Chain A
Amino acid sequence: MGLTTQDILDTVDASRRPLAASLVALADTKLVLGNWHTTCVLNAKSLPDYSALLAMGGAAFGHARALYDYLTAFGLEYALLERGRDAGAIHSQAVLDAPPEDWQDFVVTVYLADQICWLQAERYLSHPDRTLSGLARRIGEETYFHLKYATGWAAEFARDEASARRARDALLRRYPAALAWFPGDDGHAPAQRQACAKAAQDLLDILGQGGELGERADTQVHAADAPWRRRRPLPGRLYELVRFKDLEAVP
């Protein structure tokens, strides 16, 4: 068994550990999100859609690397963060653990993941470290377009009842894992959960699917998934996609 997230974070000064944990989780989620885009890109519905998916994947990888680079200021090693960790040490959102079941599921899941990432990143918009606040602003600028991509597709799903229902089912299935990212004992969590719920409800409204989401978080299942608590490893097949396979090429 290799290093866990906690092992890595234990090397960070205790006063800065919560921030480092949050940023590692954010970067890891971006890493997995980028792989979601690039793995699913061949399912794009047209050439412009293909370009948009690739660009969004590229942006997610870029954010991950920028955050890993920023984390070197915490004494963490870039090579370890980017390509030196095993499945037990990658700390991405649980909402991305299961592969998409269809196109609707893909769109809904990346929407939730991007929304959660932004709710996490926006806390740093006014951080005194201008590098971090600049990173957060940059993530926000890109996220705006990523969310537009999802709402644009949701509007298309709404044209067809069966398609809209599949999207709604996917949303309801993924939503508890999305909410669990914001633990109850974090001071920011209530507002973040509320914002996450509103974003999900907005998507339901675009889909033309009525009903309230309500409090659907399965806290027993997902209690360990909050940014600095994840204990279970990344699913094996997902890790095989995510991990870098060119270790021998790294100097």
Chain B
Amino acid sequence: MSTIVSAHPIGPDKMYEVFGRLNSADILEHVGSILAPNDDLALVRARFICGRRYQELCLAPTLSFIRAAAVDTAAVETAAVETVVVKEF
């Protein structure tokens, strides 16, 4: 077989979070993260990289998650700093 040479634009990879459950009685557990340009390729890569043993895999784009802890902490720290600065004036 010849070597395949091809150049074509690929969309930018997005990060997906992968969750799985071993059987229907289990809760979904986070099993990893995966980079892929679209949902179909993310599903395939999750299946083959994160494990075939899961009865069910669920994926969601990482950006779709609301990161309560990280966002809130940053907001609190920023507010605290601002408050101190105001007091010094």
Binding site for B on A (CB under 8 A): 36, 39-40, 43, 45-46, 48-49, 51-52, 55-56, 99-106, 145-146, 148-149, 151-153, 155-157, 159-160, 162-163, 166, 237-238, 241
Contacts and interface: CB of A to CB of B under 8 A. Distances in A.
Contact of B45 (A40, A49, A101): A49
Interface string B17-59: 0000000000000000011111111111101110010000000
Contacts of B41: 49, 52, 148-149, 152-153, 156
Given A103-B4, A152-B41, A159 B35 contact: no
A156 B4 contact: no
B84 interface: no
Interface SS, A side? helix
Contact residue range for chain B?
20 to 34
A156 B11 contact: yes
B40 A237 contact: no
Given A46-B35, A156-B38, A149 B2 contact: no
A99 B6 CA distance: 14
Contact of A45 (B1, B2, B10, B47): B10
29 contacts: A39-B1, A40-B1, A40-B4, A43-B4, A49-B41, A51-B48, A52-B44, A99-B1, A99-B2, A100-B1, A102-B6, A103-B6, A103-B8, A104-B6, A106-B4, A145-B47, A146-B44, A148-B41, A149-B44, A151-B40, A152-B42, A152-B43, A155-B38, A156-B41, A159-B9, A159-B10, A160-B9, A166-B8, A241-B1
A84 B2 CA distance: 26
Contacts of B11: 156, 159
Interface of B: 1-6, 8-11, 13, 34-45, 47-49, 52
A51 B4 contact: no
A215 to B, nearest CB: 29
A43 B1 CA distance: 12
A106 B3 CA distance: 11
A238 B1 contact: yes
